[in-house]
Every structure is written in structure tokens, then in C-alpha cells.
Structure 1
Amino acid sequence: MKALVVSDSHGLTKELDMIVKRHMTEVDFMLHCGDSELESTSSELSPFLGVKGNCDFGSDLPNDVISDLGELSFLMAHGHLYDVKSTLMRLNYRAAELGVNLVFFGHSHIAGAELINDILFINPGSIRLPVMRRQKTYAMISVEKREVTVTFYEVNGEVVEELSKTVTL
């Protein structure tokens, strides 16, 4: 099972379309972790299951989504309601409460994947305004049984090797 994950596109449309076209035949679904700053009915967001970010004013998207990715379950939230710029503790508590294996979030614009208490937290970064690195990033998640491979990409499609990893949950 594979999912494409983006976040914090902040009004970009051409780049979202390009990423969707690049990966549409290789993924089972696409996730947007918020701050698209687009109408939830926009054609650019139509391929995505999305959540509302702090810059998505008036959006009718949900704050959180809980679903499955293969044999694993996930929580997707933008992160602003969980103070992710300061700590992942509140988001970790929520994930543990729900019993999920994966958490997808944005808000901080910092790309990375971190295992905390047997839960894999994945922030795809930002395709518009990255923080702590120059690359504008998104991620591809591949789940095979309980093995999760997270591959980070630059907007141009190049793999960011130093961020990518495989974890068994």
C-alpha cells in the first residue's frame, strides 16, 4: 500500500498538479496535511484526503482524519491544534489514545520521520516554505505488512536520501 503525503503548499497549484501527475499511477491514495490555502472543492485538492490547517480560513475540511494504510492505522492532523512547533507530546498522547501506528502532520514545515513509543511520526515538510533545509519536500509512504518505508522527495522529483528511512512497527 502506498500513499503520497504533502503539506503546507500555501496556495501553490502548479506544483501540486505536477506532484499528483508524477505519482498518480503508483499510489493508492494521497494525503494533504493542511495549509493548502485552497478551497476544499478546488481541482488541485480533489485527489487528496485532507485536513484543515491554521491558514485554511473558512475551510470545511476536518481537523483530524483517522484511517488505515494497509495493515496499519494512521492519524492525520495539521498539527497546530497539538502545538507541534514546540513538542510532539500532545500529538503522541492523541495517537496513543487512538491506537494508531502512524501520524502524518505538518505546520512546522520541518521534514522528517521519527519513531516515538512505537508510533511513526511523519512530517512531509513544505513544498513552498521549508524550514531547517533548503529542499521543498513531500513524502511517499510504502507499507508492506508492518514495514514502513518513507521516501522524501524534492518538488522536482529528486529523492532526498538523508531524510528517507525504513522502520518496522
Structure 2
Amino acid sequence: MKVLVVSDNHGEAEILKQLKARHKEEVDHFIHCGDSELTFSDEAMNGYHGVRGNCDLDTSYPETLTKELSGHKLFVTHGHLHQIKSSLLPLKYAAEEAGANIACFGHSHIAGAEYMDNILFVNPGSISLPRMTTDKSYAIIELKDKMFFVHYYNEKGEKLSSHTFEK
């Protein structure tokens, strides 16, 4: 199973449409970790399971989202309510409380993946305004047997890096 994770497009609707068109045949689920700055009903958000970020005005988005995906439980949040810029500990507690083994978040605009205490943490970075790099990015999480693969891509779909974690 594959899950595309994107965050922090800050009003750029076209890139979300491009990602869906590019990956619709290979990806099973599309996740948006907030700060789309689009309305919940915007056409560009169609097909994405999204949450509300600190820059999202539309209160129709949930603050967090939990999804069951092929034997895995995914916890999605923007991150601003879980102090992710300081520590992953509050996010870890929230994911554990939700019974999740994958936690997706944005907010920092910095791409990264880490496996800690049986939880995979994935920040796709920002598809519009990256920090600590010039690469606008998104991630695809691939779940295979007892392995997690996290692949990072730039806005053109070119692979930037990959990480492998054993469950």
C-alpha cells in the first residue's frame, strides 16, 4: 500500500491537482497535513484526507484525523497544536492515544522521517515554501510486510531521498 503525504502548499491549488494526476494510478490514499489555505470544498482538495493547519481559516477541516489503512492506523495533524518544532514527544503521545503506528504532520516545512517506539513519524516538508533546503517536497509512504519505506520527491516528481524502517 502507498500513501502520498503533502503539506503546506499555502494556497497553491494547482500543485495538489498535479500530484493527484501524477500518482493516481500508484497511490492508494492522499493525505494533506494542513495549511492548504484552501476551503474544505475546494476542487484541489478533492480526494485528499486533510486537517486544519494554523493558516487554514475554514473550520470544516478537523484538527486531527485517524485513518485505518490495511492494518495500520494513521494519525494526521498539522503539528502546531503538538509543538512539533520543539519535540516529537507531544505528537508521540497523541499518536499513541489514537492507537496509531504512523504519524503524519507538517508545520515546520522541514522534511523528515523517523521511527521511534513503534511509530513512524513523517513530515513531507512543504510543497511550496521549504525551509532548510531549496527543494519543495512531498512524501510517499510505502508499507510492505514488516517494512516502511518513505520516499521524498520534489514538485516535479523527481526522487530526492528514501528512508527504510523495519517495524
TM-score (norm 2): 0.96
1:141 maps to amino acid: I
1:89 is displaced (CA, Å) by 0.9
Corresponding residue of 1:59 = 59
Q: Which residue of 2 aligns with 1:156?
A: 156
The offset of 1:70, in angstroms, is: 1.9
Q: Give the AA of the match of 1:21.
A: A
Q: CA deviation at 1:115?
A: 1.2
Q: Show the counterpart of 1:120.
A: 120
Number of residue pairs the alignment of both structures matches: 167
Partner of 1:94: 94
Q: CA deviation at 1:117?
A: 1.4
Question: What is the match of residue 71 of structure 1?
Answer: 71
What is the distance in 2 between the residues matched to 1:93 and 1:159?
A: 31
Match for residue 6 of structure 1? 6
Q: How far off its partner does 1:15 sit? A: 1.3
SS of the aligned residue for 1:94 comes to helix
Q: Please give the root-mean-square deviation of Cα atoms over the aligned residues, in Å.
A: 1.0
Moved more, 138-147 or 76-85: 138-147
Q: Conserved in 2, the CA contact under 8 Å of 1:9 and 1:35?
A: yes
Identical aligned pairs, as a percentage?
Answer: 44
Deviations 1:87-109 (A, max 9, x none): 11100111122221110000001
Q: Is the Cα–Cα contact under 8 Å of residues 32 and 51 in structure 1 kept in the other structure?
A: yes
CA distance in 2, matches of 1:154, 1:2: 17
Is the alpha carbon distance of 1:123 and 1:86 closer, same or farther for their aligned partners in structure 2, counting shifts above 3 Å? same
User: Quick one: which of 160, 165, 168 aligns to 2:166?
Assistant: 168
For 2:58 and 2:71, the matched residues in 1 are separated by: 34
Q: For the residues of structure 2 that align with 1:34 and 1:2, how far apart are their CA atoms?
A: 20
Is it true that 1:37 corresponds to 2:40 in the alignment?
A: no
TM-score for both structures, normalised by structure 1:
0.95
SS at match of 1:141: strand
- Deviation (angstroms), 1:155: 0.3
